[in-house]
């Protein structure tokens, strides 16, 4: 009886405590993130985006994959090559680090 009463009596307290324990370590992060979001949203939605002349879409072929592929292999071929090297080296680095020394 007494236990029930006490538990009933203290349930809101428990909820509050758990809420507090949930928010306490996160509150600064929450506030900062929320304010940041607010700032960005305010600046985005209060900016009058000029309506650009839409380039007539190619109705027959709406896909832009071809364009991207052409761009990658013409204008941006050098970054592409560098990227391949970066990928390879990061792969090797990751394997090296993850393997550890003398483990196997």
Partner 1 sequence: MIPVELYIGLAAIIFSIGLYGFMTQRSGIRMLMCVELMLNSANLNLVAFSSYNADLTGQVFALYSIALAACEAAIGFAILMAIFRMKDTINLDTFNVLRW
Partner 2 sequence: MAIGDLAFLIPLLPALAFVLTFFLGKKLPNGGAIIPIAAITISFVISLLITMNLLQNPEEVINQSYSWFAILNIGVLVDPLAAVMLTMVSLVSLLIHIYSVGYMSHDRSQSRYFAETALFTASMLGLALSDNILQLFICWELVGVCSYLLIGFWYEKPSASSAAKKAFLTTRVGDVMFLAGIVILFSDLFRIFNGTIPDGVYILRFDEIFTHIPEIAAMNANILGMEVSHITIITLLFFGGAIGKSGQFPLHVWLPDAMEGPTTVSALIHAATMVTAGVYLVARTFPMFMAAPSSLLVVAYLGAFTAIFAATMGIVMNDLKRVLAYSTISQLGYMMLGLGVGAAIGAEAVGISIFHLINHAFFKALLFLCAGSVIHAVGTHDMRQLGGVAKVMPITAVTMIIAAFSLAGFGIPDTIFGFSGFFSKDPIIESAYLFGSSSGMWIPYLLSITAALLTSLYIFRLVFMTFFGKPRTDYGGHESPASMTVPLSILALLALVAGALTRTTFYEFVSETFVNDFVQMDIPALADIGGYHLASHAGHEPMLILWMPLIVAVAGLLVSYLIYGLKVVNMDSLVSRNNPVYKLLYNRYYQNAIYTDFLSVKVIYEGFAFAGHAIDRGFDWTVNWISDLMIESGEALRQFQTGVIQTYATAVIAGVGLLIVLIKVVMEVI
Residues engaged in binding partner 1 (CB under 8 A): 25-26, 28-30, 32-34, 36-37, 40-41, 44-45, 47, 49, 52, 54-55, 64, 67-68, 71-72, 75-76, 79-80, 83, 86-87, 90-91, 93-98, 100
- Distance, in Å, from the CA atom of 3 to the CA atom of 54, rounded to the nearest integer, reads 71
> CB within 8 A of 73, min separation 6: which ones?
80
Minimal distance, residue 98 CB to partner 1, in Å: 4
Q: Please return the burial class of 19, using the count of CB atoms within 10 Å of its CB with bins 0-12, 13-18 and 19+.
A: exposed
> CB within 8 A of 80, min separation 6: which ones?
72, 73
Site string for partner 2, 38-77 (x = CB under 8 A): -xx--x----------------------------------
Minimal distance, residue 11 CB to partner 1, in Å: 27
């Amino acid at each position: 009886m007494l236990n029930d009463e006490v538990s009933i009596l203290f349930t809101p307290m428990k909820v509050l405590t758990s809420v507090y324990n949930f928010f306490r370590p996160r509150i600064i992060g929450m506030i900062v993130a929320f304010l940041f979001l607010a700032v960005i949203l305010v600046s985005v939605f209060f900016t009058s985006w000029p309506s650009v002349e839409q380039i007539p879409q190619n109705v027959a072929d709406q896909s832009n994959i071809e364009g991207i592929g052409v761009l990658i292999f013409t204008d941006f071929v050098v970054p592409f090559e560098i990227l391949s090297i970066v990928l390879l080296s990061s792969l090797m680095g990751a394997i090296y680090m993850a393997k550890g020394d003398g483990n196997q």
